[in-house]
Amino acid sequence: MDRETKEKIEKILELKEKKDALILAHNYQIPEIQDVADFVGDSLGLSEKAKETDKPLIVFCGVLFMAETAKILNPDKKVLIPDPEAGCSLVESITVEELRKWKQKHPDAVVVGYINTSADVKAECDYICTSSNAVNVVESIPEDKEILFLPDMFLGFYVQAKTKRKNLHIWPGECHVHAAIRIEDIKRAYDEHKNAELLIHPECGCSSSCMYLTADGKIKGEILSTSGMIKYAKKSPASEFVVATEIGILHPLRKKAPEKKFYPVNEEAICKYMKMITIDKLLKSLEREIYEVNVPEEIMRKAKRGIERMLAL
């Protein structure tokens, strides 16, 4: 790391103390951001940290929907995101108008929305879920209830295969990074690293095929959220892992399990939105208290119900 970056990091740490701020970072953030954060985690872990903090200022190093979730859980605190343009292709895959039309066609259905949605879409959902609890959330809903699951179809197919629910309708949305990870990539990586275990994110285009292959014992692997991957890799007796998700996860994996080897299924699996947060932008964010995340009050109130139902589970 060059001297200039080190100095900027020192300033960030000073300002963080002075302003009594909490820096949260997602597992896909660049290594320098993860290393300066107070907590690094997956969508669920970050929501939980945001909910329990007593700090007056939260700086969210992740994408906008995550910072909005932190604001919804902390309406009285100041929530900042260093770059408000840090979006998410999954969030873009459904609008609130599309969701309302879909609900009209299924008036009795329970709506389960993935956390990767905009605040106004969340406000129309009965439950919010993340990659680590989507199966549990769906299982908590009475079996005779129709479910609208949105917006990630690969996570939806995986949840459907796991829960064997026939009345689960799935929105055809996808994350461009994970959709591009196909079963052929998994097979090739597995051939190259025959002793490795696979760690697969449920948003991957191959997640349900992987589920059948692992159930058959054809490959050894687990379908997990990003933090689930870290916990699993630490405790597994395996010493090598092939990782099917955004490559930012390699940093916390290698940090938390330094004695093990991790290989990405696809080196190009990079979320350009997650990489928009830099040390420069984080420093400016703390100095100038920009960019403040705000969500209209009525939307916050409605969106909070589904998030809190999830956290209560």
Residues that bind ligand SF4 (CB under 6 A): 63, 88-90, 116, 175, 177-178, 246, 271, 273-274
What tokens were used for 2? 């060059």
Shortest distance, position 195 Cβ to ligand 13P, whole Å = 25
Q: Kindly state whether residue 197 participates in binding ligand 13P, applying the rule CB under 6 A.
A: no
Is 181 strand, coil or helix? coil
What string of DSSP letters covers 238-270?
-SEEEEES-GGGHHHHHHHSTTSEEEES-TT--
**Residue 147: contacted member of ligand SF4, ligand 13P, none (CB under 5 to 8 Å, by partner type):** none
Which residue, among 55, 57, 81, has the nearest Cα to 68 in the 3D structure? Answer: 81
Contact criterion met (CB below 8 Å) for 265 and 185: yes
Q: Kindly state whether residue 225 participates in binding ligand 13P, applying the rule CB under 6 A.
A: yes
Q: 12 vs 86, which CB is nearer to ligand 13P?
A: 86
Question: What CA–CA distance (Å, rounded) separates 80 from 57?
Answer: 8
What tokens were used for 137? 């959330």
Q: Kindly state whether residue 226 participates in binding ligand 13P, applying the rule CB under 6 A.
A: yes
Contact flags string 25-44 toward ligand 13P, x per CB under 6 A: --x--------------xx-
Residue 34: Cβ within 10 Å count: 19
Q: 152 vs 197, which CB is nearer to ligand 13P?
A: 152
Pick from 71, 203, 276, 295: which binds ligand 13P (CB under 6 A)? 203
Which residue, among 159, 219, 224, has the nearest Cα to 193 in the 3D structure? Answer: 219
| Contact residues: ligand 13P, CB under 6 A | 27, 42-43, 116, 130-131, 175, 203, 225-226
